[in-house]
Each structure stands twice: as C-alpha cells, then as structure tokens.
C-alpha cells in the first residue's frame, strides 16, 4: 500500500485525536492490503479503489473509535480480562477489525451468516496476530453468549438489528449502530421497548458525507 495512503491515514488519525502507536498504523495498513487481496476472491466489499477503501471504510470505521472508547471506559471489566463486543454482519471486518486493532482492551467478535466472510476475519486475526479478534459463522439470533456492546455498520434497519440481536445483548448493554445520514424514519419505526438515547454525528476525515452513530438500549419496563 502506498506511502501516500499511509500519510492520509496518519493525518486522519491525527484529525480524530486518536492515540495510536506506529505498530497499530502498520496493522491498519496490513488489514487494507489483506482486504484488497482477498476481495477479489471473497467479494468482501463493492469498493475496489484503494483510495476509496481508505476513506469510505478504514477512516469511516476509525471515526467511531473515540465514541466507542468513551463508552467502554465507563464499564466495569475484570482485571486482566477484555470487554466483549459483538459486531453484527461484519462482512470484511468493518468496523470489527478496526476496533480490534485500535482497542486491544476489547474482545471483538464478528458474526456473519456468510462463511467465507467469517473465515476471512479468522484469517486476518491469524495474519495480524490479533488475539482479541474472532470470526463467527452463524446467525446472530442463534448466539448463546451475551455482550455488553453490540455494534453494526451498514447492516440492516435499526428495527431488524435490535430485534435479531436482542437475545445476545447482556443486561445493561447497549446497541451501537453506525449509519449514514440521521435515520429519522428508522428511529420512528423502532418498538416502544427500544430507546434511542443519543444520535452522535461523525465527521469522517477526507469524506464530505453525513455519518452518525445511533446509541440504543432496551427501554426500562413500566
């Protein structure tokens, strides 16, 4: 991957005020290399151009990291343990792999119904030596483990996302949905037992487009 792309990535990281070590930047670049290489075989993303992949995928995913860390840092975690996160419909690992690289304190579990995509995540975990990254080939409705944070990006409507993953959400857990523009209609369609407690606008470095995070939790009964 070219030095120009690395420079743009580093500038984006700086703009987002993310404190990443050079080794983490190396891993992000290596991930992009793997995505480019295996995309031809696995059809992981419709984006083929490296420049577009950097802005629309890598930087767009990185934009959510400060918000994720802000939330995670408020949660109690046993000493020596990682906080479990479930990323639903991860596809090529966006944002799951990016979260795993940037947040070694989070155990990122990427679930996808497409076997080759889950296999790709496992391959990335092995190639980049990421012990906190796991690919799961299954439907989210079938998972038995519960997670305090469940994320998605460009996966499904908010109704489907929260309905399908509800059994996997731990008590006191939150949903974290990355969306393009403010999804007013999707929010209006949510059932009464799902509460949107914050819609956080995001600015992706190098991309002039609306992005946001919709934060949700089960509404308190009664």
* Tokens 């079938």 belong to residue: 142
Both tokens assigned to 165: 């993953």
Give yes or no for a contact between 95 and 61, defined as CB atoms under 8 angstroms apart. yes
Q: What is the pLDDT of residue 126?
A: 98
For 197, other C-beta atoms within 10 Å of its C-beta total: 10
Q: What is the pLDDT of residue 54?
A: 81
Q: Please give the residue range of the domain that contains residue 160.
A: 3-218
**Per-residue confidence in pLDDT tens, the chain, 222 aa:** 578 899 999 999 999 999 999 999 999 999 999 988 888 776 667 666 777 778 777 899 999 999 999 999 999 888 889 999 999 998 889 999 999 999 999 999 999 999 999 999 999 999 999 999 999 999 999 999 999 999 999 889 999 999 999 999 999 999 999 999 899 999 999 999 999 999 999 999 988 888 999 999 999 765
Alpha carbons 67 and 70: distance in angstroms, whole number: 5
Of 214, 218, 213, 217, the residue nearest 65 (C-alpha): 213
pTM of the model: 0.94
The number of distinct structural domains making up the chain is 1
Phi, psi of 10 (to 5 degrees): -65, -40
Q: What is the pLDDT of residue 221?
A: 61
Whole-Å CA distances, 166 to 19, 24, 134, 169, 206: 33, 32, 20, 5, 35
Q: What is the pLDDT of residue 220?
A: 77
Whole-Å CA distances, 172 to 75, 76, 140, 147, 150: 10, 12, 19, 10, 12
**What is the CATH number for 156?**
3.40.50.150
Q: What is the pLDDT of residue 46?
A: 64
Q: What is the pLDDT of residue 40?
A: 75
Number of H helices, E strands in the chain: 9, 7
Phi, psi of 74 (to 5 degrees): -95, -5
């Amino acid at each position: 991957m070219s030095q120009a792309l690395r420079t743009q990535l580093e500038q984006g990281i700086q703009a987002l005020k993310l404190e990443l070590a050079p080794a983490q930047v190396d891993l992000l670049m290596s991930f992009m290399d793997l995505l480019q290489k295996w995309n031809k075989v696995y059809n992981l993303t419709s984006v083929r151009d490296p420049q577009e992949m950097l802005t629309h995928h890598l930087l767009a995913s990185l934009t959510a990291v400060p918000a994720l860390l802000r939330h995670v840092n408020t949660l109690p975690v046993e000493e020596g343990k990682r906080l479990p996160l479930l990323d639903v419909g991860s596809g090529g690992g966006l944002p799951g792999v990016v979260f795993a690289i940037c947040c070694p304190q989070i155990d990122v579990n990427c679930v996808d119904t497409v076997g080759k995509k889950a296999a790709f995540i496992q391959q990335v975990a092995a190639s980049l030596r990421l012990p906190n990254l796991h690919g799961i080939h299954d439907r989210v409705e079938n998972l038995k483990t519960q997670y305090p944070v469940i994320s998605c990006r460009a996966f499904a409507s908010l109704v489907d996302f929260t309905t399908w993953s509800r059994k996997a959400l731990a008590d006191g857990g939150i949903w974290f949905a990355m969306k393009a523009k403010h999804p007013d209609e999707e929010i209006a369609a949510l059932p009464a037992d799902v509460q949107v407690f914050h819609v956080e606008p995001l600015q992706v470095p190098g991309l002039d487009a609306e992005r946001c995070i919709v934060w949700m939790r089960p509404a308190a009964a009664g």
